[in-house]
């Protein structure tokens, strides 16, 4: 079997959603580390909570958008290069 073409938009949607999930995990880690650091430093203001919330809300959308656009570009580039070279041979056995 030879892969000669991929659906660029289809690949981008799948990768974008995967990057959103990674963004949630990474955002939660950043949020926990930031809040732990601020509490360890003895700061009693609302900044750690705001920073933690922003990391969980903004980071997944940022990761998802960049993953979508990056995958759309790379899948389109793959289609161009695979058309020139004949594609990728995959052994299904």
Q: Is the pLDDT of residue 1 over 80?
A: yes
Quick check: is 66 in a domain?
Answer: yes
- H-run or E-run covering 2: strand 2-3
- For the record, the structure tokens of 62 come out as 């940022």
Q: What is the pLDDT of residue 45?
A: 67
Q: Which structural domain range is residue 37 located in?
A: 2-84
Write the pLDDT tens digit of every residue in 22-66: 999 998 888 888 777 777 766 666 666 677 778 888 889 999 999
Q: In total, how many domains does the chain have?
A: 1
Torsion sign across C-alpha atoms 29, 33, 38, 39 = positive
Q: How far apart are CA 49 and CA 33, in angstroms?
A: 12
Asked, for residue 93, whether it belongs to a domain, the answer is no
User: Quick check: is 67 in a domain?
Assistant: yes
**DSSP string across 11-59:** HHHHHHHHHHHHHHHHHHHHHHHHHHHHHHTT--SSHHHHHHHHHHHHH
């Amino acid at each position: 079997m030879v892969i000669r073409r991929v659906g660029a938009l289809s690949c981008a949607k799948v990768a974008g959603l995967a990057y959103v999930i990674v963004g949630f995990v990474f955002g939660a880690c950043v949020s926990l580390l930031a809040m732990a650091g601020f509490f360890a430093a003895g700061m009693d203001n609302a900044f750690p909570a705001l920073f933690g919330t922003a990391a969980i809300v903004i980071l997944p959308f940022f990761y998802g958008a960049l993953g979508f656009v990056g995958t759309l570009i790379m899948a389109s580039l793959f289609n161009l290069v695979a058309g020139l070279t004949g594609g990728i041979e995959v052994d299904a056995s």
